[in-house]
Structure 1
Amino acid sequence: MSTYLKTGLLLFLFWMTSCVTEDDIYLTETVEPNPDAGVAVQDFMWKAMNFWYFWQAEVDNLADDRFPNTSQGSRDYTQFLLSEGDDPGKFFDKQLLFDEDRFSFYNDDYVELTQALSGISKSNGMEFGLVRVPESNDLVGYVRYIVPNSDAATKTIRRGDLFTGVNGTTLTDSNYLDLLFGSSATYTLNMANVVDGKVVSNGEEVTLTKQDNLQENPIFLDEIIETGGKKIAYLVYNGFTNEFDEQLNDVFGRFKSGGVTDLVLDLRYNPGGSVNTSRLLSSMIYGTNTKDVFLKARYNEKYQKILEDRNTDVQEYFAAKTGSGTPINSLKLKKVYVLTTQSSASASELVINGLEPYMDVVQIGEKTRGKNEFSVTMVDDRDNNYLYSPKRVNKIASDNRWAIQPLLGRNENADGFSDYTAGLEPDITLREDLSNLGNFGDLNEPLLAKAIREITGTATAKTDFSVALPMETVTSSKLHTPMGDTMYVTDIPIVW
């Protein structure tokens, strides 16, 4: 365990014990909690949020003086824990969250959550977005990409395909959750085409089945494009999953040995993930000077004060090696081109923001989602300050599998900038076209073609960048997984 983490744990234990006095214990009425009501789950949630939550000071229910006694036998405290009955999820959402918090969440099974953060989930392998039909409640689905080795990879469905219904029912904003994200593992898509500027059913069907433990490799495509006297590295990267850091470094090794002059980083469908992986990727792009600040973390007032009192460094620097000790393959570029959409979030935005002070970041596409806070997985491991560790799963309360993923802080770049809750605006705006998504790596694919034109300064095969059916995505498949649009850390404070 790191020195920083030990210090944090000791201070936390001191703080927890100092909050309750003997007078509190003897003067507060007690009542035995109902063991069937899940009070232990709510108790874990409250205590973890009371100490770690970024907006702890803004939530009255999380105030340090909210309860004179926070033992599970305290009448007032226990009644509060039962305020939403035996529903810990409802308790978390209604009693503990700050009004402006869009991203903290819970999961009733920490195994499912931690697997999702590793890119493992129950999925049919079709990643898609949903857009709204103008002046209607109807939705249209469009296929973003197909995960290799999945059920969808064996079917006649590909990027750019459209669907308007599921199991014969037209998709709407009131039924898509049940139809696409319900309990059924199998569903049939009712496919469609664009005809005269409108999306209409074509009578074709595709049946897909979700499979357990499908792991997605976030490195979807990597290649070197030679055009206009340039060698352009192109990387489609769909998730910051630290289990694939070594493969990512290998890709940049191939880019480096291939003598690339430029990089197009495609993050348009990347919802985020590991903060450390974003640091490593940024180092592969910019450089490995470990004295250059990549980010500065800001925690809640309580924990920030502890860190400042102990002169703890909350800055994270560019990396020279991966977590396994492999030297970083860095391109040491002065400019990078990043493709984004509304689905580019969290760690994707962190890469853009973290690189901005050091190089020219040319953002092409749409404004990003706007998630500048980081989170951590917390479980009922009270001796480890509620922080999840895969090495301590036998220490997690055996009768409590719940996990929470609360926002802990906000990441600033080296210039101190972190104010992008409304999203990062592109330098070159270009929406995706529902009638012409194109294929990844194809020089006629609109966003890639635009980037190549910017790099080479010459005309490309594609000359018309008008958008026939511009789309504004309502939601996407990845937002409905435990992964969501998460930017997570694996240790506190900033010890990866």
Structure 2
Amino acid sequence: MKKYTYLFLLLLGATFATLLSSCQGEDRRLEYKDTKGVNDWIYGEMKDVYLWYDEIPAESKLNFYANPDTFFYTLLSSKEKKNGNYYSWIEQKEVTTKSIDDSSSYGFEFMSYTDEKNSSVYVRVLYVLPGSPASTAGLKRGDWIIAFDGNKITSTNYTQLLTGSGVKLTLATYTGNSTNPFAEKGTLTLGAAKAVNNDPILVNKVLTSTSGSKIGYLMYTHFATGPNDNANDYTYQNELRQLFASFKSQNVTEFVLDLRYNPGGYISNSQLLSTMLAPSSALGKTFCVIKYNDKMSPSQNIYSFDSDSIKGGANLNLSRLYVLVSKYTASSSELLINGLKPFMNVTLIGTTTEGKNLGSVSIQHEESNWMIQPIIGKLYNSKNESDYGSGFTPDYELDEFSDYSTYKELGDENEMMLSKALALINGASLTKSIRTKSISTVLNAKQSSLDRKKTNGAWLAPIKK
């Protein structure tokens, strides 16, 4: 039995032809041999580590000469399929295993909306990364984009707003008019896409409650270890430690953690952040458990609230935590919520989260550069609870995507979601459903740039074979 270490959480159409040469007479026997070799490797790894290995079809029913990126999906269980997609995946490239890839980006995230009456598509900016082409051009959170390069936005071309050689955006103001909901207000030109430092610490502040207590706020966008996002890059973890040391020095006793755009990533980051948020009485106790299939040894790994991991950071010894969530809150974000719940009062504000209670690992075939990322375990907290497969339901329902007119900057005390958390901290009594809707319901939130950032479960550290 193979033993895998340094795990971190994450998350075939062609058949063998009877002729071994192409119509031009090219001998393809070596190509087929190489393909079968890769598929043999995939099959062997999946039979060892895949959570549902016992549901993999018999070898006699599989086509080992199919393309590896097709062969892999014939092995997967329907139990991991959600919204038409599998959490496990495969790709062929040099190993980067980055949870978020911003090697070429305009540097802003957005939500697209469709007009119910005429099927027009509009885009709303959710946030802009510092130092990006979007930031340099002056694009702001809440800006509406109704066209680019003179073309209307559609459900198929909106992805061109992610990257390119430059783009001219047509901006507009939302009017609430059911016939023509937008009034054009000018254009903005973004320079060529480039590599962007996607630091997960997007916004952090210390606010003051009405009673004078200090409230920490952190918008944390993904659980990456550093810019290179691998097991040996701790840049972002060290920044997080320094930030919490600062929170501690400013006597922060309340906290609002903003995970509304966080799709997950590495368990080590979720573990570290949870350790610095948890009550001190939880230190040394179980944060989470990942349980593997019955062939793996050991059969599970236990992750604790590890005080040694803080390394110059600080434990805030909180008794309660407010978390801002949405349908894009997933994987290691949900792991943090589930892991902290047995030890403190965790209040969720927003909409139902994604529901990913599974862990995955990267396994690299060095000879071919194929990498598989299979689901290998299910995640539990110290109470053996893992009942969030359909997502966490918020304690206070609030949907920012259905508000078209009042976006404030993230961290602004009057920002829709943060303001509700602050109101609760200040003792206000709120109804459970505090969903805000603009005066017009003509627009429906559809696709988002955040969709590309979804991980396939909480990540464990890569394995090279």
Shorter-chain TM band:
0.7 to 0.9
What's the TM-score, normalizing by structure 2? Answer: 0.81
Residues 165, 171 of structure 1: 8 Å contact kept: yes
> 1:327 Cα deviation (Å)?
4.6
* Cα deviation, residue 332, structure 1: 0.9
The separation in 1 between residues aligned to 2:71 and 2:191, in whole angstroms, is 33
**1-structure distance, mates of 2:71, 2:120:** 33
Moved more, 291-300 or 165-174: 165-174
2:31 counterpart residue number: 34
RMSD: 3.0
Please say if 1:190 is aligned against 2:161. no
Picking from 108, 125, 131, the partner of 1:143 is 125
**Conserved? CA contact 1:349–1:372, under 8 Å:** yes
Correspondence for 2:271 among 275, 279, 282? 279
Q: 1:454 aligns with which of 424, 429, 433?
A: 424
Correspondent of 1:46 among 10, 20, 43: 43
The one-character-per-residue Cα deviations of 1:278-319 (angstroms, maximum 9, x if unpaired) are 01101100045553111111222322xx324xxxx5221111
User: Partner of 1:240 in structure 2?
Assistant: 223
8 Å Cα contact 1:271-1:486 kept in structure 2 = no
Counterpart residue identity of residue 454, structure 1: L
Letter in 2 for 1:34: E
CA distance in 2, matches of 1:407, 1:327: 34
Q: In structure 2, the residue corresponding to 1:92 is in which secondary structure? A: helix
Match for residue 475 of structure 1 among 435, 447, 452: 447
Task: Give the secondary structure class of the aligned counterpart of 1:307.
Answer: coil
Tell me which amino acid in the other structure corresponds to 2:249.
S
Asked if residue 441 in structure 1 is aligned to residue 411 in structure 2, the reply is yes
Question: Which of 49, 56, 66 is 1:59 aligned to?
Answer: 56
Residue 58 (structure 2) pairs with residue 90 (structure 1): no
Q: 2:24 maps to what in 1?
A: none
Q: Which amino acid aligns with 1:314?
A: N
Q: Which runs of 5+ in 1 are unaligned?
A: 10-30, 68-75, 381-395
The CA deviation at 1:91 is 3.1
Instruction: Find out whether 1:367 has 2:352 as its counterpart.
Output: yes
Cα distance in structure 1, aligned partners of 2:191 and 2:38: 33
Shift of 1:362: 0.4
Identity among equivalent positions (%) equals 31
Q: Secondary structure at the match of 2:196?
A: strand
Report whether the alignment pairs 1:489 with 2:460: yes
Listed as ranges, the gaps of 5+ residues in structure 2 are: 6-27, 227-235
1:90-133 deviation line (CA, Å, top 9, x unaligned): 3333x22223433222232244x42x337653211111122333
Structure 1 residue 415 displacement after superposition: 1.4
CA pair 246-204 structure 1, distance change in 2 beyond 3 A:
same
1:256-271 mapped onto 2 (5 Å cutoff): 256-271=248-263
Tell me the SS of whatever aligns to 2:382.
coil
Q: Which protein has greater RCO, CA pairs closer than 8 Å, 6+ apart?
A: 2
- Map 1:90-489 onto structure 2 (within 5 A): 90-93=70-73, 95-99=74-78, 100-101=80-81, 102-111=86-95, 113-114=96-97, 116-117=98-99, 120-134=102-116, 137-177=119-159, 179-180=160-161, 184-197=164-177, 199-200=181-182, 202=184, 204-209=186-191, 211-229=193-211, 230-243=213-226, 244-287=236-279, 289-303=282-296, 306-308=297-299, 314-322=301-309, 326-380=311-365, 396-397=366-367, 400-432=368-400, 433-458=403-428, 466-468=436-438, 473-481=445-453, 484=455, 486-489=457-460
Q: Does the 8 Å contact 1:137/1:173 carry over to 2?
A: no
State the Cα distance separating 1:355 from its structure 2 match.
0.5
Structure having the larger proportion of residues in helix: 1
Change (3 A) 1:283 1:259: same
Q: Report the Cα offset of residue 401 of structure 1.
A: 2.4
CA offsets 1:330-376 (integer angstroms, 9 cap, x no match)? 11111000001111111111111111111100000111111111111
Residues 107, 135 of structure 2: 8 Å contact kept: yes
